[in-house]
């Protein structure tokens, strides 16, 4: 089926067979030189009045290192754009200020992807633990029949204290095939809490990607105070040239990248989030593999 409007067109490609899958041809094939991530942020206690939060987000205590399951549950909901996804009149604990991003795709160039020392201007001027959070997720696919372990480098700012730390966390699904995924596990691969408000470059972050599987690598930063109303936020993956090599053994999963930026997940609550639900939805939108 083809839909055409003017000079541009949207093509739907249907594969043959009983389990026919429909894939949006606007998503290009994965390649080593196409690397993107999805980013969301929130100004936390630097939101004036309604919408601000500190120690607890929508459910319970939140640590920006994602060091425990409760923090990861809440962090994923906030990354997806709503910390209280089953709410009605409750605040969303995400994208609460004009300076924030909401499930925005950012692309890498040469060795780096993300931002470094980004200015955040906040009139509330709350410093320390609760100044702001940024969540960036990179979907990585292993295209080979063997597990791959490789190092990536990250940049993160921390806003100080035990609640405003920073971390890099890996999500591995229960199956390599999108439609067969029914669960998954988070693992903290690098984090720092109770650090001073500062900027950190971390090299040699080792991650393992199972054969023929897409994992989600989350990079979480806190904003640190510089001077009145001004904060800095660094959240970046770098040394991409050593991680994504020309043999395409590891690639950014562009189907999953689009799914993270667009899919509406059902059945989530303020105390429950399920990243695994992205996978079968990705299969429905872009085709299974």
Among residues of the chain, what percentage have pLDDT more than 70? 90
pLDDT over 90 (residue 288): yes
Mean pLDDT of 261-272: 96
3-class secondary structure for the chain? CEEEECCEEEEEEECCCCCCCEEECCCCCCCCCCCEEEEEEECHHHCCCCCCCCCECCCCECCCCCCCHHHHHHHHHHHCCCCCCCCCCCCCCCCCCCCCCCCEEEECECCEEEEEEEEEECCCCCCHHHCCEEEEEEEEEECCCCCEEEEEEEEEEECECCCECEEEEEEEECCCCHHHCCCEEEEEEEEECCCCCEEEEEEEEEEEECCCCEEEEEEEEECEEEECCEEEEEEEEECHHHHCCCCCCEEECHHHHHHHHHCCCCCCECCECCHHHHHHHHHHHHCCC
pLDDT over 70 (residue 258): yes
Predicted confidence (pLDDT) per residue in 190-218, tens digit: 998 766 788 899 999 999 999 999 999 99
């Amino acid at each position: 089926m083809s839909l055409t409007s003017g000079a541009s067109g949207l093509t739907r490609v249907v594969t043959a067979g009983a389990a026919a899958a429909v894939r949006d041809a606007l998503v290009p094939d994965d390649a080593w030189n196409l690397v993107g991530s999805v980013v969301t942020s929130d100004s936390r206690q630097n939101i004036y009045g309604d919408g601000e939060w500190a120690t607890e987000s929508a459910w319970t205590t939140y640590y920006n290192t994602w060091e425990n399951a409760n923090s990861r549950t809440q962090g994923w909901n906030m990354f997806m754009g709503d910390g209280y996804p089953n709410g009605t009149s409750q605040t969303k604990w995400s994208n609460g200020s004009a300076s924030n991003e909401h499930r925005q795709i950012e692309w890498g160039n040469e060795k780096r992807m993300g931002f470094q020392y980004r200015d955040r201007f906040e009139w509330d001027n709350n410093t320390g633990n609760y100044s702001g959070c940024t969540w960036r997720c990179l979907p990585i696919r292993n295209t080979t029949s063997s597990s791959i372990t490789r190092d990536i480098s990250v940049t993160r700012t921390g806003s100080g204290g035990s609640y405003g730390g920073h971390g890099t966390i890996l999500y591995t699904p229960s199956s390599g095939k999108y439609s067969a995924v029914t669960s998954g596990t988070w693992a903290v691969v690098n984090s720092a809490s109770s650090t001073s408000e500062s900027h950190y470059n971390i090299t040699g972050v080792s991650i393992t990607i199972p054969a023929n599987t897409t994992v989600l690598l989350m990079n979480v930063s806190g904003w640190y105070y510089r001077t009145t109303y001004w904060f800095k936020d660094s959240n970046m993956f770098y040394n991409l040239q050593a991680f994504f090599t020309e043999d395409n053994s590891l690639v950014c999963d562009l189907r999953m990248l689009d799914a993270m930026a667009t899919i509406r997940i059902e059945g989530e609550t303020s105390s429950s989030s399920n990243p695994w639900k992205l996978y079968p939805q990705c299969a429905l939108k872009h085709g299974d593999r």
